[in-house]
Amino acid sequence: MGRGFETGMGMTRIFKCKNCDKIHLESGNILLHFVSPERLRKYLVYLDGINAEYYARLNRMKGVAKDVFLPVEGTVASIAFSLEEFEEFKNAIRNYISGDCKRPGGHVELNKFLVINPN
């Protein structure tokens, strides 16, 4: 069953798929797939290591609409967040890992979203 977390980007859903056994994370226009809980934990460690406030200050000077950009390896794409969205995104992952969720979420229809695979 999925767990849902309300964020500034809308509903963030994180759930383990019964069909492929991966953990799917959907938030706004983002869809990430993790092959194991350990991969999700490693991704959170990566996110926690980013000095988001520093990059937000740099990017604000450029006049862009979002503050924090996470490059998607092997592509020309980046995931863009406001500073608040970035913190909420990390907290949703943290809450999923800890089992602390605000309300249950539903299954996500995967083919409607951009698919980014960080594995």
Looking at residue 100, its pLDDT comes to 56
Average pLDDT value for the chain = 77
Percent of the chain with pLDDT over 90: 31
Looking at residue 60, its pLDDT comes to 86
75: its two tokens: 């592509």
Residue 32, H or E segment: strand 30-34
Higher pLDDT, 108 or 73: 73
Judged against a pLDDT cut of 50, whether residue 108 lies above it is answered with no
> Which pTM does this prediction carry?
0.72
pLDDT range class, residue 115, cuts 50, 70, 90: very low
Looking at residue 72, its pLDDT comes to 87
Q: Which residues neighbour 7 within 8 Å (Cβ) at sequence distance 6 or greater?
A: 27, 85, 88, 89, 91, 92
Interval 45-61 mean pLDDT: 92
